[in-house]
Every structure is written in C-alpha cells, then in structure tokens.
C-alpha cells in the first residue's frame, strides 16, 4: 500500500510520503570549510581568525561561525583567547610526538576490526581507490594523491564499524591531516608511501588483521618522521634568517 501524507488538508492533492534528502547541516559545512582552510594553509599558524571576513565569505552570522570555532578548538586547530577571539595554533614537534603514536594505535585497531568483517565488494572498492591514488602519484599530482590517500584510511575506519573508535579518530584527524600538508614529501618518501599502501591493500585482501595492524602502525611512524624533519628544517631556516638580520 502506498504511503500518503497524513497531514493532507481537504482539497489538497495527495502526495506520497518520501524519504528526506540527506544534506550536511550549516554547522557541519562551516566546520568543514574552516578546517580545510587551516589544514591547507589558507589560515596560517599564529594569525587571528578574521571572524567578520569569514562570516561575509560564508554568508553566515557570527553564531554558526563561533560554534564551528569551538569544534576546531576541541581538535587543537585553534586556540580560543579570552576577549581576543580565536587564533590558529602552530604545529610543533612535541605535537607530532604526541599525536602520531595515538593515531597509529587507532588505525592499527581499525585494521584488525576491518579484516574481520570486510566484504569482497569493499575490498574491490578500496582497490579501486588505491589504483586511482597511484595514478595521481605517477602524474605527481600531490593534492589529488592526498585526497585519495585520506579516503582509503577513512574507508578502512568506516568498515571497522566501531563508533567509539570513529569518535576518537575524528578528534585527531584534522591535526594529523594538517601535519601531512606541511611535510616536505620527497620523491623517495613518496615512493615508500605508495609501496606501503600496496602492502596495506595486500593485507586487506588476505584479511590478515595482525599484519595490517602492524603495517598501518609503521605507516604512521614513517609519516611522523617525515613531518618532524620538515618542521625542524623550517625552524632551522627561520633561525638562520633571524641570525642573518642581526
């Protein structure tokens, strides 16, 4: 029997009940845009967040923007300063040393859980994402490569099907993604990362949870080393420039 609108008024045409169209809320959209601006460097570390300009840019009032800032503060991407607004936080080697081991442990657990429940169709889906990512690697298209790389890791997390794990991962994901953007991806490291993803795909196909957990953990450790090298090189360059100006 066809569902009908029970709130139909006399004289109105009958309209079948429909499934609501899913869409991101205004809150989620503002959070996502701000996060991307910080991660990709459009809002640089140390600057005050220009609330008025962002409200005009997004076409929103101060309320949803400030709610978004609270979310990003909980993720460590900004600091809320009493009576001074919000400031984009700087990324330090100490932050990296804290974040990456935790993220590595979360991804390792996600890998084990995923191997226990992944379907052939989901393996095929991740394999397709992997081949798209490799294509961007061969073309040296780093932003597109990063996008597919992140999508593969997120898909593994989704298939794991653990909401607690997902919430903990989300709390770190923004800062880790930001760290990947600041890293100087050398050709040798990029090639190594692609090889590591090949082994991730193989462990998934074999449904070898312990092996995948180990690979994902080592994958994050290698990224940690790359990011720290980039931050240290940048700090040394700033220090040398300061000395030259004395």
Confidence of residue 200 (pLDDT cuts 50, 70, 90): very high
Distance, first Cα to last Cα, the chain: 83
- Which pLDDT value is given to residue 15? 44
pTM of the model: 0.76
CATH 1.20.120.530 domain residues, the chain: 93-235
Confidence of residue 170 (pLDDT cuts 50, 70, 90): confident
- For residue 30 the two structure tokens come to 């503002």
Percent of the chain exceeding pLDDT 70 equals 86
Q: How far is CA 99 from CA 64, 209, 217, in A?
A: 28, 23, 12
Q: What is the mean pLDDT of residues 181-196?
A: 86
- Listing DSSP states for 124-193 in one string gives HHHHHHHHHHHHHHHTT-HHHHHHHHHHHHHHHHHHHT-HHHHHHHHHHHHHHHHHHHHS---HHHHHHH
Main-chain dihedrals φ then ψ at residue 87, nearest 5 degrees: -130, 135
- Which pLDDT value is given to residue 240? 58
Query: Mean pLDDT over all residues of the chain?
Result: 85
Q: Which of 12-21, 32-41, 179-188 has the lowest mean pLDDT?
A: 12-21
Q: Which of 8-17, 46-55, 96-105 has the lowest mean pLDDT?
A: 8-17
CATH 1.10.10.10 domain residues, the chain: 26-88
Contact 49, 69 (CB under 8 A): yes
- Which pLDDT value is given to residue 235? 67
CATH architecture of the region 26-88: Orthogonal Bundle (1.10)
Q: Angle between the 26-39 and 163-182 helix axes, to the nearest 10 degrees? A: 40
pLDDT at 57 over 70: yes
- Which pLDDT value is given to residue 243? 56
Contact 107, 214 (CB under 8 A): no
| CA dist., res. 201 & res. 179, Å (int) | 24
Q: Between 24 and 13, where is the model more confident?
A: 24
| CA dist., res. 33 & res. 12, Å (int) | 41
| CA dist., res. 181 & res. 176, Å (int) | 9
Confidence of residue 117 (pLDDT cuts 50, 70, 90): very high
Query: Which value, to the nearest 10 degrees, does the dihedral of the CA atoms of residues 118, 119, 124, 128 take?
Result: -40
CATH code assigned to 93-235: 1.20.120.530
Q: Provide the 10 A C-beta neighbour count for residue 185.
A: 16
């Amino acid at each position: 029997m066809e569902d009908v609108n029970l709130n139909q008024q006399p004289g109105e045409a009958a309209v079948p009940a429909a499934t609501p169209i899913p869409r991101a809320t205004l809150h989620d959209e503002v959070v996502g845009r701000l996060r991307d601006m910080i991660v990709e460097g459009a809002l640089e570390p140390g600057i005050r967040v220009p609330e008025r300009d962002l409200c005009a840019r997004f076409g929103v009032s101060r309320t949803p923007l400030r709610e978004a800032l609270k979310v990003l503060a909980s993720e460590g991407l900004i600091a809320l300063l009493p009576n001074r607004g919000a400031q984009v936080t700087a990324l330090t080697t100490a932050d990296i040393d804290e974040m990456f081991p935790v993220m590595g442990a979360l991804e390792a657990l996600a890998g084990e859980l995923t191997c226990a429940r992944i379907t052939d169709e989901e393996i095929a889906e991740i394999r397709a994402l992997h081949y798209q990512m490799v294509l961007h690697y061969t073309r040296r298209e780093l932003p597109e490569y990063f996008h597919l790389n992140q999508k593969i890791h997120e898909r593994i997390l989704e298939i794991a099907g653990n909401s607690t794990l997902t919430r903990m991962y989300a709390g770190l994901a923004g800062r880790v993604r930001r760290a990947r953007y600041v890293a100087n991806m050398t050709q040798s490291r990029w090639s190594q990362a692609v090889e590591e993803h090949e082994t991730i795909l193989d462990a998934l196909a074999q449904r070898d949870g312990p092996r995948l957990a180990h690979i994902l953990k080592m994958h994050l450790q290698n990224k940690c080393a790359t990011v720290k090298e980039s931050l240290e090189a940048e700090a040394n360059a700033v220090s040398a420039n300061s000395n030259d100006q004395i």
